[in-house]
Each structure stands twice: as structure tokens, then as C-alpha cells.
A and B are shown apart, each in its own frame.
Chain A
Amino acid sequence: MSKQQQTFTLSGVSCAGCVSKIEKSVKAVPGVDEARVNLADRTLQVSGSVDAGDIQSAIESAGYGAEPVRRSERELREQQRAEEQRHYRQLLWRSGLALGLGVPLMAWGLLTGEMMVDSPMQQLLWGAVGLLTLGVLLYCGGHFFSGAWRAFRHHNANMDTLIALGTGTAWVFSMLVVLLPQLLPEAARHVYFEASAMIIGLINLGQALEVRARGRTSAAVEKLLQLQDPTARVVRDGREVDMPLEEVQVGDRLRVRPGEKIPVDGRVLDGSSLVDESMLTGEPVPVKKAERDTLSAGTLNKNGTLLFAAEKVGAETRLAQIIEMVKNAQSSRVPIARLADKISAIFVPAVMIIAIVSALIWFNWGPDPRAAHMLVVLTAVLIIACPCALGLATPMSVMVGVGKGAEYGVLVRNGKALQQASNLTTLVVDKTGTLTEGAPKLTDLETVGDGDADELLALLASLEQGSEHPLAEAVVAAARERNLDLLPLSEFEAITAHGVSGTVDGKKILLGNRKLMQRENIDIAAWHERADELADLGRTAMYAAVDGAAAGIIAVADPIREDANAAIARLLRLGLRIEMLTGDSSATADAVAQQLGIDRVHAELLPEDKERIVGDLMAQGQRVGMVGDGINDAPALARADVGFAIGAGTDVAIETADITLMRSSLHGVANAIELSRATLRNIKQNLFGAFVYNTLGIPIAAGVLYPFTGALLSPVIAGAAMAFSSVTVVSNANRLRFFQATEVQ
């Protein structure tokens, strides 16, 4: 184990005496160079080459508790980036060095044509160049050789194998020419040192560019990680201490000031403020937070100071879970890549065999100089084949596509969901909460003559405060919204299937349907027409009476979401058939469907019917996506090819759905489908490119064009093609970063 710095959080430490006791017992552990306790934030820093478990047990035997602090994800990332940068520079340096030898050699060959070994003098000179090339091969390409050897011992073959074999063969052949030219016919006494050096240089250059391009593919996760600040302000013993995020524990009290980010998940103890949760929910309007409200890590505190208790820290926070899910999805397998996976498993040995077979064909039937042709073909085939492009084709696109989804508030469970979302034919949408707000609202209030609407509403709301019916809630909510005072209620009575009655402010109030009014002999003939109009709009109308006389009519409806119309239009443009499901009555359902332009409606459904309808559609050969809230619709979501859980990203939804929409808008579904189509298109381009590249490149390297061109493909060109094929794949995947949903903001 190498020397390193480790940090532990301590528990049970209260005084300076404990500090020296702990430091002493830890220093006694073999391998510890330095141990320092920080009493303020109750941490222990240990440096030395020692196992974390040993230190923990030493502290425990001294009578205290200790937990190793896990380095934060962000820190790991930064380290990773630094490492990547170092690797990038190393690859560039190696590439430069190898090309520094290869380019002049190649230029010499092209300009003078003197790459032959005919005299002892040339033998000596080329021998020296050969040794120099060997040095370059080992220094700049040593990792290819060691990798190839290790893989070989494990009965494996990879890209390193091909590069090592290709460059190694060229070098060995050239060295043979230098040392024993008499073994070969005169025309074949050609050296290929420049090819070895150039190939190593080009492939290092290609890898350097690839490291660069790959860094950008994970930008989305980086953005999510940056939602958290590295420190949190913890209130301990009445003092505020800034401490690293990783050391915050459940139960700690934290303070956030205006403009700061919420560090961990928790519940407000004191204060009130507006919190911008758009990064997690996509909800653009800041949410008011007061005592006992929950806070999510990564959200932004706008205008007040909040004191809150940490409830979930580290990997338990919702933000961490979202990041984890995105990361997992980014590297999951897409069914379309199965063929590519199978091919890449047998690719390298197959290429080796093809290389030998084509070399033998050139040797037996090819024109002179046969030995030289044989070598060029062998090397070029080994070098041009690029298993990486094939292997990279899907993962890179999925990585960028899933990350882009996270930016849009679309969490994709895995590659399979992404692929299926791209070719859906039917979208089944649950009405309540998806197309409509999900909570009934008072839409209309009309009074007899010039009666005061607010006064009537106050009376009706006072009456309804005794009821638990959802429609009653709408009336009460409307009164609250208008800041009306509710009056005391007496003699409340709920008359089943009719309505409610009661006495408010000494007046007898009735609220209910036509039957109630008929029973109480109240004349409502003047309102019939209006009531029918409201019903046609999908609203539920109720008559009101005060002291035995009709007072007005009110209507309650679950209003259609503002953006539903535009979102449905987008989905229809995407070529999807839309079916609406609801438990509501046909009249209400039809009214909503008509306003939205949906022609297939299934109304008056029981919860279990939804799953059956999804199943029926699938049996008809439709590829079905189901949009629901993830809790009530769980079975139907699970049954469908793709289940979209809409809204707020509750934990349950995240666990069950194929695609979770953080934002409760149908636009999210359209975004998800557009994105999945773009990603799949990108994957297909990549796969097609990689297949075509390999299936064309290998025969060309094997010399099928020789009869037409009279020349073989130079191994140097093969090396360049191979180096840039994987860069091309990664760059194409990066194009997905510029994906734009068609939603009009």
C-alpha cells in the first residue's frame, strides 16, 4: 500500500484530552507517520502507508468511534481529469517523438527512394536507424507491447495485440534485411523502419485526441456534480463551522444563506425562503419553503436564510441517486449493439488469421517482390483493423444521449429503454395529473342577478369546509385564494348523490345537483341551459341556493394543463397514436379529449383496466409507451414497452419507470422520444461507420485493389486510418451534445 492521506470522522470526542489519547493510539499503529485530530470538526487526518481498518480498530479500542471519510465524487472527478490531462500530454509527447523519427525517414524514402540494403555501408547505417527505431518503439509504444503480452498470456487478444504485431513484424523484417540481406531476393531488400515509427506515432496521436473527446462526453454528469458545493455550514454547539460535505452527518443542523446551494437533503427547522428546484424538477417557478418542508441537495436558496436538519447525506441524497442512475444508464447495453458485441469478441484473432491468409496468398500467387508484398499486406491488415471503433460506437452515443437527457430532466433507466422509446407507435396517457392538473379547481361562479360573487363563494366555502369531497376542496381553495374569511357552520348534512346543506351566518345554504334542487323545490329553470354548456366543457356544475331561493351556479373542473395542447401536438407530429385513459365519466373525458385533439379515449376505467388496455394494444402489435404518475399506474407502466413516470421524480417512480421525467409536463415525454430517436440515429451512424470502415479497410489493406491501382496500401496510411477511425466515432457521438428539443420555450 502506498503512502497516502486518510481522513476519518470521529464520534465520542469531546475534549482536548481525547485528542491526545486518539493521536497516541493511532500513532502506535505500524505504518502511521502522522496523525492529527481536529477537534472543531471532529476529524482525524492520518498520513502513512496503513490500512484504514487498522486505524479504525485502534481508535475503537481507545474507546471512540471512527468512520473513514469517503472522498467526494467531485474530488475523484477532479483527480481523474488531472490524470487524464497528464495522460493526454504523455500520449502527445510519445506521438511527437515517434513521428519525429518516422516523418524524416518517410520523407527520405519518398524523396530519394533509397530504402534498400545493398552494401555493407547501408547495412551499417540502416542497422543504426533500426536500433533507434527499436528505442522509439519501446519508449513510445512499450505499453502496446506489454499489453499485448499480458493479454496473450490470458488467451486474450486486443487492440494492443494488433498494433504490437503489426509494428513488431515490420521491424523484425527490416532488421532481417539489414542483418542477413542475402536471405532475400534483391528486390525485397527494403526496410520499413519508418512504418513502425509512424504507426506508433499516429496511434498515440489518435489516442490523445480520443482522450480529449471522451472527456467531453461525460459533461452532463459533471454539471450535476457541480450542483453541490464542496462545503456545508454546520451549526455545532451554537457555532457555525464550515466543513467538507462528506463529513456532514444525518441529524446535523445546517444553515444556508440566500444565494447558497442546499448541501444535503433535509427538513427545514427554522426560517422561510424561496428555493429554486428547477435543476431537479424542471419546475421553473421557485418553491416556497417554511418549517417542516423538505429540501433537496443541489437546489438553490433564493432569498431567505434557512436552518435545517440533515436527513440524507452522501450517496443517499436524491441528487446523488440521480447522478448514480445517469451514470449507470450511460454505460448500459443497448440491444442494437448486440451484433457489434459478438463481433468484437472474436474480432482480433479473426483479423490475425485474415492477415496470415492474405500474406500467404501474396506469397504464393502474387507478383514479385513477394517477400516485401507479403510483409506490407500482413502489417497493413493488422494495423488497419480497428476493434475500438466497433466497440465504441454505441457506448459513446448512449453516454452523450443519456447525459443530454438529464439536462432536460429526462432520466433514462438503461440503454434498452432508450432504444425502445425511439420506435414507439402508441402512447397511452393517463389523464389525471398528466393532461390535467390533477386537482379540481373552481372554474365558474355565476350569481343570480347582480349578487356578490365573493359573498356567495364565502358562504359556499364555509358550507364545504365540513366536507371531504374533492370538489369541496376546490371550493374552499378558491375562497382561500381570494382571501375570503370562512364563517362558522352548523347543521351540516351531506345528502348522498345530491349534495350538501347547512346553516352559515343564520342562512340555510344548499349546494348540489339538479336532484337536490328539485327535492327542495327550488326553481332553477333559468340555469338549465348554462349547466348543460358547462357539462359539455367537461366541467361539473352545481347549483347553489340561499334561504330557499336559487343563488347561482358554480362549476368545478380538473383544468387542462397549460402546456398539454402544445405537447400533444408535438407528440402527434412525432407520428404517435395517442390513447387517453381515465377513471372519469365519458362526458368529462370526451370534453378533455376534444379540446386536446385526442380521438381515442378509454373512460370510466378501474385501475386494473389500465394494464389490460396496454396489454391489448401490445397484442395488436403496437409498441406502447405508457405515461403515468408512477404510483397508481405502476402495473401499466411496468407492462408497457416503455413506462414514463411523470412528475416530481418521487423515489418510487425513479425505481419503477423506464424513463422518469423530473418535470410534470407531457413535453418531457416528447423530449424523451425526440432525444431517443436522435441517439439511436447517432448509434446507427456509428455502427454503420465502424462496420463499413472495417469491412472495406481490411480487404483494401489485403490488396484487393492492387490489380487496379498497381500498389498496395502503405501500412502508414493504414495506421493513420485506424487512429482516426475511433476519433471519428467519438466525435460523431459528441455531436449529440448539440441536440435541441423542438419544444418552443
Chain B
Amino acid sequence: MLALLINGIGLVLIAAILWWFWLGPRRQTAAAVSGAERLQILVKDGVYEPDHIRLPAGEAATLHFRREDPSPCAEWVLFPDLEVSAQLSVHSDTAVKIPAAEPGEYPFTCQMQMYRGTLVVE
């Protein structure tokens, strides 16, 4: 009886992990920003907030990253496909210039890829 229960719990957990991290619907905090607006992205506790940013295509924009996490993981933000990167100083705003880009999805991450976000140019 106990064996059944424990195995059951294990399998349910595996299914839950699969669903929550990969298969399930992703609840994202999204924000759209036009070239002129000011958008602040909070870097804290392992996540970018918002982590889904929409930009109009063909327009350069500036994103303001506010890093509240002093751990070294959060020190850099990288947009590898755009060859943009910035070192974020703690407890202050760092302006990151995003060049005009083709429509598409550009992931951005911290150096160790633990912080993750997506920049959608459309």
C-alpha cells in the first residue's frame, strides 16, 4: 500500500515537472515598448520581470535593467543573437541599447543562462 503510494507520488511529480517546465502553458509577464517609451526590467531572484518584451521591428530601443540581485549570476545580460550585452550594476538602472532588428524572437539570458527572457521583434 505504502509502496504504491510512494511510487504514485513519484510518477505524479515527474508528470508535474514535465508539464510545469516544458509542456504546460507558459504564463509570461509580457510588456510591449515602443522606441520612445521607457521600460524597466527587474532582475531579481532568478527572473527577469517582465521576461517577454515586444519591440516594433526596425526601430532601435533602450531597455532599462534594474538589477536587485547581487549574486554574480545576474551580473551580465546578453542578447547573443544581437551581439548586445551589458554589465548590470547592482541597485541601479543600466540602459541597454537594442539596435533595430529584423522581426523574430531573440532570447536574452544572464551569463549562465539561468535568467531567461525573450525579446520579440514584430
Contact = CB atoms under 8 A, between A and B. Distances in A.
Interface of A: 76, 79-80, 83-84, 86-87, 90, 143, 146-152, 154-160, 207, 210-211, 214, 218, 327-328, 330-333, 341, 344-346, 348-349, 352-353, 356-357, 359-360, 363-364, 387-388, 391-392, 395, 414
Contact of A146 (B7, B14, B27, B45): B45
A148 B46 contact: yes
Given A79-B89, A155-B24, A157-B21, A211 B112 contact: no
A151 to B, nearest CB: 4
B21 A210 contact: no
Contact of B10 (A333, A349, A359): A359
A79 B87 CA distance: 13
A333 B3 contact: no
29 contacts: A80-B89, A87-B70, A87-B90, A143-B71, A147-B45, A147-B69, A150-B44, A150-B45, A151-B47, A154-B27, A155-B24, A156-B21, A159-B112, A159-B114, A210-B72, A214-B75, A331-B85, A331-B111, A332-B83, A333-B78, A341-B113, A344-B112, A346-B22, A349-B18, A353-B18, A356-B13, A357-B14, A359-B10, A392-B111
Given A155-B24, A327-B85, A388-B114, 12 more contacts: A87-B90, A149-B45, A150-B45, A154-B27, A155-B20, A160-B45, A207-B72, A344-B113, A356-B14, A356-B17, A360-B7, A391-B114
B6 interface: yes
B71 A207 contact: yes
A156 B113 contact: no
Contacts of A83: 70, 89-91
A166 to B, nearest CB: 15
Contacts of A151: 45-47
B84 interface: yes
9 smallest beta-carbon distances between A and B, as pairs = A391-B112, A331-B85, A150-B45, A333-B80, A158-B114, A349-B21, A147-B46, A151-B46, A87-B70
Given A333-B80, A363-B6, A387 B72 contact: no
A388 B75 CA distance: 14
A374 B2 CA distance: 14
Nearest to A348: B21
Interface string B56-77: 0000000000000111110110
A409 B102 CA distance: 33
A453 to B, nearest CB: 57
A578 B21 CA distance: 52
Contacts of A159: 73, 112, 114
B116 interface: yes
Contacts of B92: 79
B38 to A, nearest CB: 9
A491 B29 CA distance: 83
Nearest to A349: B21
B21 A155 contact: yes
Nearest to A150: B45
Contacts of A214: 72, 75
Contacts of B22: 346, 349
A330 B112 CA distance: 14
Contacts, number: 125
A395 B17 CA distance: 29
Interface residues of B, number: 44
A349 B45 contact: no
B112 A332 contact: no
Nearest to B85: A331
Contacts of A218: 87
Contacts of A352: 17
B21 A388 contact: no
A327 B70 contact: no
Contacts of B18: 349, 353
Nearest to A374: B6
Nearest to B13: A356
Nearest to A157: B21
Contacts of B83: 328, 332, 414
A150 B114 CA distance: 12
B17 A158 contact: no
A360 B10 contact: yes
A210 B71 CA distance: 10
B65 to A, nearest CB: 13
A156 B112 contact: no
B8 to A, nearest CB: 10
Contacts of A147: 45-46, 69
Nearest to A83: B90
B26 to A, nearest CB: 5
Contacts of A357: 10, 14
A356 B17 CA distance: 10
Contacts of A344: 112-113
B113 A150 contact: no
A143 B69 CA distance: 9
A346 B27 CA distance: 18
Select the residue from B10, B72, B90 with max chain A CB neighbours within 10 A: B72
Interface string B76-118: 1010100111010111100000000000000000011111100
B17 A87 contact: no
Contact of A76 (B44, B73, B76, B89): B89
A149 B6 CA distance: 24
A364 B24 CA distance: 30
Interface in B13-49: 13-14, 17-18, 20-22, 24, 26-29, 44-47
A30 B13 CA distance: 54
Given A388-B112, A391-B114, A331 B44 contact: no
A620 to B, nearest CB: 30
Contacts of B85: 327-328, 330-332
A360 B4 CA distance: 11
Contacts of B73: 159, 388
B71 A353 contact: no
Contacts of A356: 10, 13-14, 17
A214 B29 CA distance: 31
Contacts of B7: 360, 363-364
B51 to A, nearest CB: 6
B95 to A, nearest CB: 9
A424 B89 CA distance: 38
Contacts of A360: 6-7, 10
Given A155-B20, A328-B84, A414-B83, A150 B46 contact: yes
Nearest to A416: B83
A440 to B, nearest CB: 40
A603 to B, nearest CB: 38
B72 A156 contact: no
A149 B85 CA distance: 27
A387 B17 CA distance: 17
A392 B109 CA distance: 13
Nearest to B75: A214
B115 to A, nearest CB: 8
Nearest to A359: B10
